[in-house]
Amino acid sequence: MAMVGLFWITEGCVYLGAKPAGTAPGVRLTEGGVEILGGEQGGRSWEWDEVRGLDVRDVAVRSAGRRLASMAFDSVVVLFTGDGEQPPLFTVCVETEGDGTVEASVLAAVTGGIHTPDEYELSRTLLARLADGTATVGELVGWRRDEPEDVAPTKEQRLALLREWTAAAPV
């Protein structure tokens, strides 16, 4: 598994945010479509031809410097209080043909739940491309299958992947 932008990529599917465990909330993207997971919100799914749009809200976005400062502060708080928090939630909006716009919560997978502006914007562009069919989950999953299991991409590699996946498809 590897995180690239807002995407948790496995060899079989892609999650927005963290891969949920048990009854935790989540959204899974597969070759077949979009699935909402979790005890309180799960059980809904749509094939790709039913999906009209995908977007996110409530994602913490900060510059790289501010992200580091926030993470350092959070680490100090946990060190002194022993009180760690659950990862923050963000909202995934699935615009569907029959059900209108359906919102689902997902847990952030990155430390502190904070993404850089580049990661966020490229991730949103990739979501739009997945929804309109100009990108596929197979591209992301295929990349993961070709990578060593124990190697995580660097920040530069993650941004390069997002740029590759969001590049306009040849006409």
Task: Give the model confidence (pLDDT) of 106-152 as tens digits.
Answer: 999 887 788 999 999 999 999 999 999 999 999 999 999 888 777 78
Please give the share of the chain, as a percent, with pLDDT higher than 70.
Answer: 84
> Could you give the C-alpha distances from 6 to 25, 97, 125, 155, in angstroms and in order?
15, 24, 11, 13
Instruction: For residue 8, give its domain range.
Output: 2-164
Q: Please give the radius of gyration of the chain, using alpha carbons only, rounded to the nearest integer.
A: 16
The pTM of the full predicted model, rounded to 2 decimals, is 0.83
Q: Dihedral, CA atoms, 145, 25, 29, 98, nearest 10 degrees?
A: 170
Is 26 within a domain? yes
Question: What one-letter code names the amino acid at 151?
Answer: V
Mean of pLDDT values over 70-87: 47
Is 128 exposed, middle or buried (CB count within 10 Å of its CB: 0-12, 13-18, 19+)? Answer: middle
**Residues 90, 59 contacting (CB under 8 angstroms):** yes
> Could you give the C-alpha distances from 3 to 20, 97, 100, 114, in angstroms and in order?
14, 29, 29, 13
Q: How many domains would you assign to the chain?
A: 1
Report d(CA 165, CA 153) in Å as an integer.
Answer: 15
**Residues 16, 104 contacting (CB under 8 angstroms):** no
Is 107 within a domain? yes
Is 171 within a domain? no
Is 89 within a domain? yes
Mean of pLDDT values over 146-161: 86
pLDDT over 50 (residue 67): no
Is 111 within a domain? yes
Evaluated on CA atoms 4, 163, 54, 133, the torsion sign reads negative
Is 169 within a domain? no
Which residues does residue 4 pair with via DSSP β-bridges, in sequence order? 7
Is 155 within a domain? yes
